[in-house]
Amino acid sequence: MKPAAPRPALLRTDGIGLRCEAGGFHVDPWKPSPCAVITHAHADHARRGSHRYIAHHDSVPILRHRLGQDIVIEGRGYDEPFAMGEATVSLHPAGHVLGSAQVRVEAGGEVWVVSGDYKRDHDPTCRAFAPVACDVFITECTFGLPIYRWPEPRVVADELNAWWRDMRAQQRTCVLYAYSLGKAQRLLAHLDPSIGPIALHPAIDDITTLYRAAGVALPESVRFVKEIVKDLRGGAMVLIPPSAAGAEALAALGPVSDASASGWMRTRASRRWRSYDRGFVMSDHADWPGLLRTIEEIGAKRIGVTHGTVKPFVRYLNEKGYDAFPIDTAYNADETEGAA
């Protein structure tokens, strides 16, 4: 008997992005698409120019802020299926940032899930990742090497606040570099406002205002503008995106101690290379155990792997009996503002 022809892939890259032919849309396209289903609002996953956008409700204000108030966008809830052409689509919590979503696509008797970026650690500023059973799981692997293992978030929070107290006792201002969407709000949620004032760079403050409007509880903060710099000297915590490292107002803060919070801080070499006084290990991506735990919980036998340490992670999964394969995309494996 002649073997059956292989089933065409439900999702495949076509030069614009990851396309679902059955549904007539792209997931996180890196070029303009007639219809873009967006996993989250980071710049490498949400780009200008598409005719129509679909995202989780909580992502809509952030996407309008970043892509323009006039974009055509539809907000959807988690776990609510909707029809797209011949496909059924639904969004599910990814635990990455506010409004981040995995995209579940069902068509032709198969179910595929695109993870977008995700993490498994607790984050008080967004919904926790929810495993979704599927036939094919397309996962990121930003930190897909065994060296990347995150400490408990509470431990990192205690380290952050201890650093702040020490610097305040030395009358030095703390400058903490963090991506303006997600990481900054997560760090803010862990800060102890009884230590001193907290100031946010305008890019971070704008997004934080949207988080507060979505009901996320965060400590009180002020906007970091030159008029208040004198009130921040000698003990405040100032959150700044890495792209604003040369801001003139920073020089007016007097003696400072600077730090970054990122998965890349897991290695001493990275801390030295980036020349920070301190490096705190806190990532909005899954670590090595988190990636493996997720794949095991989901139960898919076919695993597409994208953006990160793709080749070694694919090789490892194949050795463990999975049918793993690389997917070439234009997403970034970095966590810094400049990379996006």
Distance of CA 183 to the CA centre of its chain: 8
- Give 92's contacts (C-beta < 8 A, 6+ positions apart): 78, 79, 101, 102, 104, 113, 130, 132
What is the model's pLDDT at position 338?
A: 37
Q: Which two tokens stand for residue 198?
A: 């907290």
Q: What is the pLDDT along the chain (340 residues), one digit of tens a residue?
A: 443 334 568 999 999 999 999 999 999 999 999 999 999 999 999 999 999 999 999 999 999 999 999 999 999 999 999 999 999 999 999 999 999 999 999 999 999 999 999 999 999 999 999 999 999 999 999 999 999 999 999 999 999 999 999 999 999 999 999 999 999 999 999 999 999 999 999 999 999 999 999 999 999 999 999 889 989 999 999 999 988 877 777 888 999 999 999 998 887 555 554 688 999 999 999 999 999 999 999 999 999 999 999 999 999 999 999 999 999 998 875 555 433 3
What is the model's pLDDT at position 6?
A: 47
The third-level CATH classification (topology) of the domain covering 12-147+284-339 is Metallo-beta-lactamase; Chain A (3.60.15)
Q: Which residues pair with 238 in a beta bridge?
A: 175, 199
- Give 323's contacts (C-beta < 8 A, 6+ positions apart): 301, 302, 303
Q: Answer for the pair 220, 198: CB distance below 8 angstroms, yes or no.
A: yes
Report the candidate in 76, 36, 70 with the shortest Cα–Cα distance to residue 56. 76
Which helix H or strand E contains 235, and what residues bound it? none
Q: Is 148 helix (H, G, I), strand (E, B) or coil?
A: coil
- Give 14's contacts (C-beta < 8 A, 6+ positions apart): 26
DSSP secondary structure letters along 253-269: T-SEEEEEESGGGGSHH
Report the candidate in 284, 246, 283 with the shortest Cα–Cα distance to residue 267. 283
Distances (CA, A) of 166 to 7, 65, 179, 191: 61, 37, 24, 14
Pairing of strands 12-13, 18-20: antiparallel
Candidate CATH numbers 3.30.420.40, 3.40.50.10890, 3.40.190.10, 3.40.50.300; the one for domain 153-280: 3.40.50.10890
What is the model's pLDDT at position 251?
A: 83
- Give 70's contacts (C-beta < 8 A, 6+ positions apart): none
The Cα 82–Cα 283 span in angstroms is 32
Domain boundaries, the chain: 12-147+284-339, 153-280
What is the model's pLDDT at position 252?
A: 87
What is the model's pLDDT at position 5?
A: 39
Q: CA angle at residue 157 from 156 to 158, to 5 degrees?
A: 90
What is the model's pLDDT at position 337?
A: 40
Q: Answer for the pair 138, 115: CB distance below 8 angstroms, yes or no.
A: yes
- Give 136's contacts (C-beta < 8 A, 6+ positions apart): 10, 11, 110, 111, 112, 113, 300, 302, 303, 304
